[in-house]
Structure formats: structure tokens, C-alpha cells
């Protein structure tokens, strides 16, 4: 697929962004499904993958397919950061009335200059990048009432953290 085709496809996804369809589901199961899906690719690239889910995370109101996409975008970025090998970890953690999903890598990290522009549409540092992955991820997460933040140490790696409020479906 050419860079233009990839850009067009991502732009179309962004432009016709679906309204979230909330159902009570498991964040841990979603994280496990996504990581098991990418595990063969990760291992073929010589990257160690660690997945730890917090058993205290309750079933909650999420749009599983959109959340999958957000997590997959963060994993894709971590894979690209680990082109020279290293470790990727994906963890869930309950924190009061919210759940955190953290995707970390031991890649080169993000400089402050790049960090200021991370969520801008069409901003990319990658030759084949479209600059829409993090923007789409943020839109998905905010559409579910959450937020995305990141931390990075240049030379030591980066962590992106999705925080979602624990919401339960109202059963009448």
C-alpha cells in the first residue's frame, strides 16, 4: 500500500468517525485479545512482550472495537519505536474510579520538540506515517469520556496511558 493510499484510508476513518456503541465489556479481555493478535509479529521482530492485567478492573461500559483500535495504534507506534529490538509492555490498572491502559516501549523516546506536536493531525516523524494515529486514538478515548497522556525519557523509552472512567450500564 502506498503512503498516499494509507493516508487516504486513515483520513477516511477519521472523517467518518463512528459514534461509540457502548456495551458492558471487559477492558482486560480487550487488551488481552489485542496483544495476543500482535504477539506473533512482535516476537518475529525480536521484541519481548509483557502483558499484565489488573484483576480488580471491573466490566464497564466501553466501545470494544473503538478501544481495540486505540490500543492497536499505541502498539503500532511502540513497534515502530522498537525497530532495533527491546521490550514492549501493555498493562491495565484500576485507579479509584478509572482504569488505566499503559503501552510502554524501551525505544529511543520522544524529544520535547516532537512531544509538543504528538496529537496534531498529520504531524509525523515517520517516512511512511500519516500523522493520524495518535489524533484518532485521542478522539476515540475522549469519545469514551477518557484521556490520553504520555511520558518519555529520551534514550530510555516512552509510555502512553489511556485513562477511562469506570462507567456501568444503567439497567432499568
- Give mean pLDDT, residues 63-75: 91
* Whole-prediction pTM: 0.83
Range of the domain at 70: 3-165
Question: Residue 158 has what DSSP assignment?
Answer: E
Name the band, by pLDDT with cuts 50, 70 and 90, for residue 121: low
* pLDDT of 162 over the 50 cut: yes
Q: What percent of the chain has pLDDT over 90?
A: 47
Residue 12 lies in a domain: yes
Residue 149 lies in a domain: yes
Residue 170 lies in a domain: no
Mean pLDDT lowest for which of 9-13, 21-25, 158-162?
9-13
The total of structural domains in the chain comes to 1
Residue 96 lies in a domain: yes
Residue 172 lies in a domain: no
Question: Residue 130 has what DSSP assignment?
Answer: -
Residue 115 lies in a domain: yes
pLDDT number for residue 172: 40
pLDDT per residue as tens digits for the range 89-103 = 999 999 989 999 999
- By C-alpha distance, which of 55, 15, 48, 11 is closest to 32? 55
Is the Cβ–Cβ distance between 110 and 118 less than 8 Å? yes
Residue 141 lies in a domain: yes
* pLDDT of 148 over the 60 cut: yes
- The grid coordinates of residue 118 equal 504528538
Any idea what the CATH number is for the domain that residue 50 is in? 3.30.565.10
3-state helix, strand, coil in the chain (%, to 5): 35, 25, 35
Give the count of beta carbons closer than 10 Å to the beta carbon of residue 110.
21
Amino acid at each position: 500500500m502506498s503512503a498516499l493510499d494509507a493516508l487516504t484510508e486513515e483520513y477516511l476513518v477519521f472523517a467518518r468517525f463512528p459514534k461509540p456503541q457502548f456495551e458492558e465489556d471487559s477492558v482486560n479481555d480487550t487488551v488481552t485479545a489485542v496483544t495476543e493478535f500482535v504477539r506473533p509479529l512482535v516476537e518475529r521482530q525480536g521484541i519481548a512482550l509483557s502483558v499484565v492485567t489488573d484483576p480488580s478492573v471491573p466490566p464497564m461500559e466501553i466501545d470494544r472495537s473503538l478501544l481495540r483500535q486505540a490500543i492497536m495504534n499505541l502498539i503500532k507506534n511502540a513497534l515502530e519505536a522498537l525497530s532495533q529490538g527491546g521490550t514492549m509492555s501493555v498493562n491495565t490498572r484500576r485507579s479509584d474510579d478509572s482504569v488505566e491502559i499503559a503501552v510502554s516501549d524501551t525505544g529511543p523516546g520522544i524529544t520535547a520538540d516532537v512531544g509538543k506536536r504528538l496529537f496534531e493531525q498529520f504531524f509525523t516523524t515517520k517516512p511512511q506515517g500519516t500523522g493520524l494515529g495518535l489524533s484518532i486514538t485521542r478522539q476515540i478515548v475522549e469519545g469514551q469520556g477518557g484521556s490520553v497522556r504520555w511520558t518519555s525519557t529520551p534514550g530510555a523509552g516512552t509510555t502512553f496511558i489511556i485513562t477511562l472512567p469506570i462507567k456501568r450500564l444503567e439497567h432499568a
